[in-house]
Amino acid sequence: MSDLLAVTDAGLYCSQGDFYIDPWRRVPRAIITHAHADHARSGCGRYLCAAPGTLVLRSRVGSSAPIDSLRHGETLSINGVQVSLHPAGHVLGSAQVRLSHAGTTWVVTGDYKLEPDPTCAPFEPVPCDVFVTESTFGLPVYRWPDPASVTAEINAWWRANRDAGRTSVLLAYSLGKAQRLAAAVDPSIGPLIGHGAVMKIVEAYRASGVRLPPIDRVPPRTRKMGGGRALVIAPPSVAGSRWLGLFGETSVALASGWMAIRGVRRRRGFDKGFVVSDHADFPGLLTAIAASRARRVLVTHGFTDTLTRLLQERGVDAAVLPTRFTGEAAPDAAVTDGEDRDDGDQADAGEPPEPDALPEEQS
Amino acid sequence: MKRFTDLYWRLDATSSTTEKVAALRDYFTAATPADAACALRVLCGGRQLRAVSTTLLRQWAAEAAGIPLWLVEECYAHVGDLAETLALVLPQPGPDVGTDGVGLGLAECMQTTIEALRGASDDVKRDTVERVWQRLAARERIVWHKLLTGGCRVGVSQTLVARALAEVAGVEPAVMAHRLMGTGVTDAESYAEAMTSGPTMADARRPYPFFLASALEGEPGEFGPTTDWIAEWKWDGMRAQLVRRGGDATLWSRGEELVNEAFPEIVAAAAMIPDGTVLDGELLAVRGNSLLGFAAVSKRSGRRRVPRKLLTEVPCIFVAYDLLEHDGTDIRGLPLAERRMRLESLVPLPCTAVAGPAANATVAVPLESATVPPPQLLHSPRVAGDSWDALAAARATSRGRGVEGLMLKRRSSPYGVGRVRGDWWKWKIEPLEIDVVMLYAQAGHGRRAGLHSDYTLGVWHDGRLVPVAKAYSGLADAEIVELDRIVRATTLDKHGPVRVVQPTQVFQLAFEGISRSTRHKAGVAVRFPRIVRWRRDKTPPEAGTLADLVRLIDAGTFAAAPLSEVQP
């Protein structure tokens, strides 16, 4: 019995079904776990994604791309391989891909988290023989605090800023985390304002039926938006840019799993860091792996070597699945290259800067 | 404990001086005198007790967390701070743990959970540690771990601490700075005394806060005529104050530690100067007529008791360059020229060890002279030069003399507190430089945790690159981040936290000196290596060679040149 998936130059390939999962090159047929740029490249012949994520994927790969969708749990046969998509809890429409062929079942998680998220369906354990898991935060130092307590911290920070007449700027990945945060914070504290990159996805979320509080756009050439009372949600790329000057005095915070480490918090130099991630923490990874009941585990994207060694020592048949994104995630990506990336979404290079992101900042 | 933890994180969260002072003020206003004294000791970087070895802590934490030890080590390499790593991997405390798990003041907490462990068996230690773990949340554990392992350093300068305490006590910051010098505050009683608004009686042994010089970048072109300045050698030793009061002599390091035991010959020599004198100067190690450099002095400085052998192998002298107290009067406000004149009459012998042609030491007194004061106590001679060019020429001879360059001090300058720009300058010699290639990289600590910022650098030898130095400073944060990515992308092999990388990156490396070494594989050791800039314009074949380095040694440009060889 041969493997159902193999790593090729273009990405993770299923030869029996002749399709790719999250390819990093243009291929004829691509199954997309979620719409983050390192998983969803534009220019493929045909896309397949989970139904709740169709509009979000469309906003990323273009309006003319042919996108098929499956409801969660619905099965499609592709060249004899049974394909179904199951909630991964990462962002709206994120899916684990289940492949079944000749009596063997594989599950590719894409990115996932186990914490509740008001903007997407919760992670669903899918029993399988081979479990391909991410490992972005695969070190035991990563253990997320209770989301409610983090939300309370964010609210308290916002309230204190508002009382001091300072605008709160919360930096978060524009697809998923920004919406999750907007849905979680207390809108009675003050107005919510979204950066253009965030609003593009907010619209796709709303059109997909996700309820979000009212969020204002940033009109061009406005001074002192929000009168020092607002919470502005923007991608990390705006840090240090002149765009922030729109808001007068600000307090800038970053919402990221990397903020769990003091050294990273200090280095990034923001006023505040909130530990919020759309990836599984270390206990989450172990829980998901156990729940899969898989006899073999392939580890990708992140602390692959470490997690693999630990699983092996615990008697699990585990190996590293080398991908283009192998190697530890780099907690500083967002600072230097000015791209909208975070939490190990390491290869967002295809995305052009948002038109209102960096006004004449590049010169 | 909670109050101190809050202070720690408040100081950690801000880089604003005002906010740091406010945090300190709030803490000291609310803390009991016993807790305050304890906190002061930590904040001022006093010597701390390592109650439990970090090796044991790692083992216990791994077991408590149910993970193997190697995984704790991997986490440490990623986080870059052991106290934090352990705090994060340990199981979370139960939900009934309040905001102050230990429920004790800092002093009592340190007494019962840290100092009580001194000399205890490992079982007792483990028992205590595990009990505390169950009662503290991660942010408190970090601080407690740092206290437990004697490594609690807080990002505030002593000046800020003094400023905050001065506000609380209602005295001048300079007065408070003086009261905090040395081992002034040790317990509730001495804290209360330090915080009295009137003058205190306990300053008999106290040194003055050290006045610090600023580094001079470039040339002293706009300093006006040289006659406004006094030039001295910049000694390669250990800064110290010799306090002679009440029939007693005390020697204080710049770290405000009493170092009497480490330098008994200096303390003995101090008996020969009159009571009511405070000298500022440098402890130097000297053998025959040559200076042995800072490394030799530091062999002595950490000692509680100096073995006879070390006393003869590394004999030390005190070279005074300033007089702060004369006849029992604080004369720091007088102009330097006046203070120096008095100094030279109190301590008439100049340190002739470097008295080459450019020095102003007209009378070379042999070190064996029977004159009093004895030869352990000397003054730093002025370096003559009637133009900046002449002084530059004198400075150019520094490396051969075993000194670091020149000090330029304004004749009219008072002896200030802390570092005030303008009056005192270090005019150090230009470092030696060579282009090197990155061979290995390792993740840094603290602010650079998880980033590969420590590099092992090599030069060419016989067609291969051989490591010659380790360096980790001098690059901008953005460059380090970029290099981190290159390191990850070009890793050939990993040995624990160390990555072997493809040799692709070239750096300009500066260093202060070079000598032959049997301890280093390449056979040479460079001193104070640091990266000056990243040479993106160069490729590894353009880097320097071991022969280039050896040539520097042969040219006699290494730091601790025996003075007999360089003197005419």
Determine whether the interchain pair B449/A327 forms a contact, defined as Cβ–Cβ distance below 8 Å: no
Domain identity same for B140 and B266: no
Determine whether the interchain pair A261/B84 forms a contact, defined as Cβ–Cβ distance below 8 Å: yes
B201 touches chain A (CB under 8 A): no
Find the helix or strand (DSSP H, E) in which B344 lies.
Answer: helix B336-346
Max Cα-Cα span within chain B: 78
In a domain, B566, yes or no: no
Domain identity same for B229 and B98: no
In a domain, A336, yes or no: no
Q: Which of A139, A249, A314, A324 to mutate to test the interface with B (most CBs of B within 10 A)?
A: A139
Domain identity same for B399 and B466: no
Domain identity same for B273 and B402: yes
Contacts of A327 in chain B (CB under 8 A): 488-489, 491
Domain identity same for A190 and A176: yes
Q: How far is A312 from A309, CA to CA, in rounded Å?
A: 5
Q: How far is B194 from B192, CA to CA, in rounded Å?
A: 5
**Full residue range of the structural domain in which residue A50 is found:** 6-142+278-329
Beta-sheet pairing, B498-501 with B432-443: antiparallel
Determine whether the interchain pair B488/A313 forms a contact, defined as Cβ–Cβ distance below 8 Å: no
Domain identity same for B91 and B113: yes
Determine whether the interchain pair B481/A262 forms a contact, defined as Cβ–Cβ distance below 8 Å: no
Asked whether residue A310 carries a pLDDT value surpassing 60, the answer given is: yes
Domain identity same for A230 and A297: no
Residue after which a domain boundary falls, among B367, B393, B428? B428
Residue A81: CA count within 13 A, CB half-sphere? 23
| Phi–psi pair at A326, nearest 5 degrees | -65, 160
Domain identity same for A87 and A154: no
B75 touches chain A (CB under 8 A): yes
Residue after which a domain boundary falls, among B410, B428, B446? B428
**Full residue range of the structural domain in which residue B451 is found:** 432-554
Determine whether the interchain pair B478/A264 forms a contact, defined as Cβ–Cβ distance below 8 Å: no
Domain identity same for A138 and A151: no
Nearest partner of A89 among A54, A125, A57, A55, judged by Cα: A125
Determine whether the interchain pair B449/A313 forms a contact, defined as Cβ–Cβ distance below 8 Å: no
The answer to whether A86 touches A98, Cβ cutoff 8 Å, is: yes
The CATH number for A165's domain is 3.40.50.10890
Search chain A and give the residue with CA nearest B446.
A263
Read off the pLDDT of residues B306-347 as tens digits, 9 standing for 90 and up. 888 888 888 999 999 999 999 999 999 999 999 999 999 999
Taking the alpha carbons at both ends of chain A, their separation in whole angstroms is 57
In a domain, A216, yes or no: yes
Q: How far is A201 from B320, CA to CA, in rounded Å?
A: 70
In a domain, B235, yes or no: yes
The answer to whether B315 touches B306, Cβ cutoff 8 Å, is: no
The answer to whether B285 touches B237, Cβ cutoff 8 Å, is: yes
Residue after which a domain boundary falls, among B105, B123, B148? B148
Q: According to the model, what pLDDT value does residue A184 have?
A: 96
Instruction: List the 5-34 stretch of B: residues with Cβ below 8 A of A.
Output: 12-13
Q: How far is B328 from B155, CA to CA, in rounded Å?
A: 36
Domain identity same for B342 and B406: yes
Search chain B and give the residue with CA nearest A346.
B485
In a domain, B265, yes or no: yes
Q: According to the model, what pLDDT value does residue B182 have?
A: 57
Q: How far is B316 from B296, CA to CA, in rounded Å?
A: 9
Read off the pLDDT of residues B476-494 as tens digits, 9 standing for 90 and up. 888 888 999 899 888 888 8
Domain identity same for B451 and B523: yes
Domain identity same for B235 and B286: yes
CA distances from A24 to A5, A11, A183, A352, B299 (A): 15, 6, 31, 17, 58
Mean model confidence pLDDT for chain A:
86
Domain identity same for A198 and A104: no
DSSP for residue B322: E
Determine whether the interchain pair A140/B80 forms a contact, defined as Cβ–Cβ distance below 8 Å: no
User: How many other CB atoms are found less than 10 A from the CB of residue B114?
Assistant: 22
Determine whether the interchain pair B484/A332 forms a contact, defined as Cβ–Cβ distance below 8 Å: yes
Contacts of A264 in chain B (CB under 8 A): 449-450
B68 touches chain A (CB under 8 A): yes
Q: Quick one: pLDDT band at residue B157, thresholds 50, 70, 90?
A: confident
Q: How far is A219 from A24, CA to CA, in rounded Å?
A: 35
Provide CB contacts within 8 A for B243, sequence distance 6+: B205, B206, B207, B249, B250, B251, B252, B278, B325
Domain identity same for A166 and A264: yes
B86 touches chain A (CB under 8 A): no
Determine whether the interchain pair A262/B489 forms a contact, defined as Cβ–Cβ distance below 8 Å: no
Q: Tokens at residue B97, please?
A: 């743990």
DSSP for residue B541: G
Provide CB contacts within 8 A for A148, sequence distance 6+: none
Asked whether residue B37 carries a pLDDT value surpassing 70, the answer given is: yes
Read off the pLDDT of residues B259-306 as tens digits, 9 standing for 90 and up. 888 899 999 999 889 999 999 999 999 877 778 878 788 888 867 678
Task: Give the amino acid at B106.
Answer: L
Domain identity same for B318 and B351: yes
**SS3 state at B70:** helix
- DSSP per residue over B488-530, as a string? HHTEEEEETTEEEE-S--EEEEEESEEEE-SSSTTSEEEES-E
User: How many other CB atoms are found less than 10 A from the CB of residue B46?
Assistant: 15
How many domains does chain A divide into? 2
Domain identity same for A40 and A129: yes
In a domain, B369, yes or no: yes
Q: Tokens at residue B261, please?
A: 């035991």
CA dihedral of residues B132, B138, B142, B147 (deg, nearest 10) = -20
Q: According to the model, what pLDDT value does residue B372 have?
A: 40
Q: Quick one: pLDDT band at residue A225, thresholds 50, 70, 90?
A: low
Cβ–Cβ pairs < 8 A, chains A and B: 76
Read off the pLDDT of residues B510-546 as tens digits, 9 standing for 90 and up. 987 777 777 777 888 888 889 989 998 889 999 999 9
The CATH number for B13's domain is 1.10.3260.10
Q: According to the model, what pLDDT value does residue B386 have?
A: 87
Q: How far is A65 from A47, CA to CA, in rounded Å?
A: 8
Q: How far is A164 from A11, CA to CA, in rounded Å?
A: 50
Contacts of B484 in chain A (CB under 8 A): 330, 332
In a domain, B480, yes or no: yes
How many domains does chain B divide into? 3
**pLDDT above 70 coverage of chain A, percent:** 86
Asked whether residue A224 carries a pLDDT value surpassing 80, the answer given is: no
DSSP for residue A295: S
Determine whether the interchain pair B81/A310 forms a contact, defined as Cβ–Cβ distance below 8 Å: no
Q: According to the model, what pLDDT value does residue B354 have?
A: 53
Asked whether residue A32 carries a pLDDT value surpassing 70, the answer given is: yes
Contacts of A157 in chain B (CB under 8 A): none
Find the helix or strand (DSSP H, E) in which A51 lies.
Answer: none
Domain identity same for B436 and B535: yes
Asked whether residue A228 carries a pLDDT value surpassing 60, the answer given is: yes
Provide CB contacts within 8 A for B199, sequence distance 6+: none
Strand partners, A216: A193
Contacts of B13 in chain A (CB under 8 A): 272
- DSSP per residue over B382-425, as a string? BBP-SSHHHHHHHHHTHHHHT--EEEEEETT----SEE-TTTEE
- DSSP per residue over A110-167, as a string? -S---S--TTSPPP-----SEEEEEETT-STT--PPPHHHHHHHHHHHHHHHHHTT-E
CA dihedral of residues A99, A100, A101, A106 (deg, nearest 10) = 60
Q: How far is A266 from A264, CA to CA, in rounded Å?
A: 5
Domain identity same for A79 and A169: no
C-alpha Rg value of chain A to the nearest Å: 20
The CATH number for B382's domain is 3.30.470.30
Q: Is the peptide bond before A355 cis (omega within 30 degrees of 0)?
A: no
DSSP for residue B368: T
Nearest to A141 among B12, B88, B482 (CB): B88
Q: How far is B63 from B85, CA to CA, in rounded Å?
A: 14
Determine whether the interchain pair B74/A261 forms a contact, defined as Cβ–Cβ distance below 8 Å: no
Q: How far is B458 from B508, CA to CA, in rounded Å?
A: 11
In a domain, B177, yes or no: no
In a domain, A25, yes or no: yes
The answer to whether B87 touches B63, Cβ cutoff 8 Å, is: no
What value does the mean pLDDT take over residues A140-146? 95
Domain identity same for A206 and A308: no
Q: How far is A287 from A115, CA to CA, in rounded Å?
A: 12
B445 touches chain A (CB under 8 A): yes
Q: Which of A153, A251, A262, A314 to mutate to test the interface with B (most CBs of B within 10 A)?
A: A262
B153 touches chain A (CB under 8 A): no
Beta-sheet pairing, B432-443 with B452-461: antiparallel
Domain identity same for B375 and B422: yes
Domain identity same for B264 and B400: yes
What are the start-end ranges of the E strands in B297-393?
316-326, 329-330, 377-379
DSSP for residue B92: P
The answer to whether A110 touches A94, Cβ cutoff 8 Å, is: yes
Q: How far is A194 from A233, CA to CA, in rounded Å?
A: 5
Determine whether the interchain pair A267/B449 forms a contact, defined as Cβ–Cβ distance below 8 Å: yes
Q: According to the model, what pLDDT value does residue B568 have?
A: 27
